[in-house]
């Protein structure tokens, strides 16, 4: 199977997963988390500061932390590879679907279910821990402890922000913020590598 066939298969699988994840929405499951409207000025300031912090962490923190060998290993990542090969279609197809799947599973379903049993702060922390632990898979792809540590910290912080966003702005904003922040981080890795 060629690389092009693998990319198309990957895209189709992710599209099927997104469709399956959306089905419960049709029947009204957690519909209150699509576009919640209880946003205050304080909440908005927290969200803006969180985005700025993650931008600084995701873009500026990589420069002193990663060495040449880390950037070389990161070239194996599908998003960095898409930048290298100028395959921008992969960035708005397959990568976007990955962000939708992440947000549907970790925010919409896990945080949406936990909020029925726990206080919001506990849900935000617990869903962020689960989201971060999920990203241990990067060890099996890149086999570098430094990269894994950056992933775990960054995904935990992103999980905190996006769980907060879920309860104040809704799922759609979680997806947009996740996509843009992570895309900018990978773009910075591409530029530095």
- H or E element, residue 12: helix 3-26
pLDDT of 103-146, one tens digit each? Answer: 999 999 999 999 999 999 999 999 999 999 999 998 888 898 98
Report the alpha-carbon distance of residue 30 to residue 100 in Å, rounded: 16
Report the alpha-carbon distance of residue 148 to residue 13 in Å, rounded: 25
Predicted confidence (pLDDT) at residue 1 exceeds the cutoff of 70: no
Report the alpha-carbon distance of residue 32 to residue 166 in Å, rounded: 10
47 near 168, Cβ under 8 Å? yes
pLDDT for 4: 62
pTM of the predicted protein model: 0.88
The alpha-carbon radius of gyration of the chain (Å, integer) is 17
Predicted confidence (pLDDT) at residue 163 exceeds the cutoff of 90: yes
pLDDT for 54: 92
- Cα 138 from chain centre: 13
């Amino acid at each position: 199977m060629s690389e092009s066939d693998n990319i198309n298969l990957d895209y189709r699988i992710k599209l099927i997963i997104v469709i399956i994840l959306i089905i419960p929405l049709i029947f009204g499951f957690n519909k209150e988390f699509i576009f919640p409207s209880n946003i205050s000025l304080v909440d908005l300031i927290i969200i803006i500061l969180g985005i700025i912090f993650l931008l600084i962490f995701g873009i500026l923190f990589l420069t002193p932390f990663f060495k040449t060998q880390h950037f070389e290993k990161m070239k194996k990542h599908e998003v960095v590879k898409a930048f290298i090969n100028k395959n921008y279609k992969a960035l708005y197809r397959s990568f976007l679907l990955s962000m939708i799947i992440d947000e549907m599973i970790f925010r919409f379903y896990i945080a949406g279910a936990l909020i029925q049993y726990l206080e919001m702060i506990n849900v935000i922390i617990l869903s962020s821990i689960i989201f971060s632990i999920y990203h241990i898979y990067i060890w099996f792809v890149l086999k570098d402890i430094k990269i894994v540590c950056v992933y775990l910290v960054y995904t935990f912080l992103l999980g905190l922000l996006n769980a907060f966003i879920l309860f104040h702005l809704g799922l759609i904003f979680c997806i947009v913020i996740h996509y843009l922040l992570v895309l900018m981080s990978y773009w910075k890795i591409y530029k530095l590598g």
